[in-house]
Amino acid sequence: MVPILIKIKLMTTAMAGWTAAASPVPMPVEGVATVLGSEVTSPIAVSLFDENEHRTGNIAVWRDGSTDLATKAEVKSLFHCRTTHREKLMAQQTLAMLADIQEHYPGKTIEYVSAYRNSSGESWTSPHRAARALDFRIRGVKLGEIRDYLWTTYTDVGVGWYPSEQFVHIDTRPVEHDMAWTFLNGNNRYHPYWAEKIRTTRPTSVATIDRHAKS
């Protein structure tokens, strides 16, 4: 948690710069520079809420999805399998996505309903079994907006829309093709209209997750 404290300290210094700036000049150059610097060199404080166990969690994740040892333990605990209670560290690329989502929706809490799953009923090819997936929603943000942001921002991902259950599934899949689906009436419907439409009309907004995580 030390990096977060450093960030807060830097922010405070910057805010002091704003306060100290001589009126009416609203340009505390040093303060702004400090804030920009801290954004580059500090991890993202990701705010989480476990919908099943009603447990909150705050983890510091760097933009490439890396974390320190203590945070790794916390990540494993937060995202443990609800059925078997086993733990597996979430993939770094998925954590990088999580950090990006938090940065994109500042001040919001990522409310998750499912993460790592390794019960006997879970498919051997499931990204949940590989600890690469998360099912979540963000209170105050339309589910379709989250879905569209993820699908237009990343490649090498799976994005599932679950309108009835009110969550979005994300996973990172470095060796498989992108996949989008809508889950409705008990079935996955692949190549849904929202995925086709978005990537046809806004192709330039598609970026690769490699800008966040290399491994």
Locate 160 and state its tokens: 């599932």
Nearest-CB residue to Zn ion?
169
Residue 195 C-beta: closest distance to Zn ion, Å: 16
Taking CB under 5 A as the criterion, the residue among 74, 100, 111, 135 binding Zn ion is 135
Angle at 195 (CA atoms; ends 190, 197), nearest 5 degrees: 130
How far apart, in whole angstroms, are the C-alpha atoms of residue 178 and residue 159? 8
Stretch that binds Zn ion, among 40-48, 99-107, 133-141, 183-191 (CB under 5 A): 133-141
Asked whether position 146 contacts Zn ion by CB under 5 A, the answer is no
Cβ 133 to Zn ion, closest distance in Å? 5
- Collapsing DSSP to helix, strand or coil, 117 comes out as coil
Neighbour tally for 30: CB within 10 Å: 14
Tell me the DSSP string of 3-22.
HHHHHHHHHHHHHHHHHHSP
Of the candidate residues 7, 117, 137, 169, the single one contacting Zn ion (CB under 5 A): 169
CB of 134 to Zn ion, least distance (A): 7
CB closer to Zn ion out of 71 and 114: 114
Q: How many angstroms separate the CA atoms of 173 and 55, rounded?
A: 28
The stretch near Zn ion (CB under 5 A) out of 57-65, 94-102, 130-138, 141-149 is 130-138
Site residues for Zn ion per CB under 5 A: 133, 135, 169
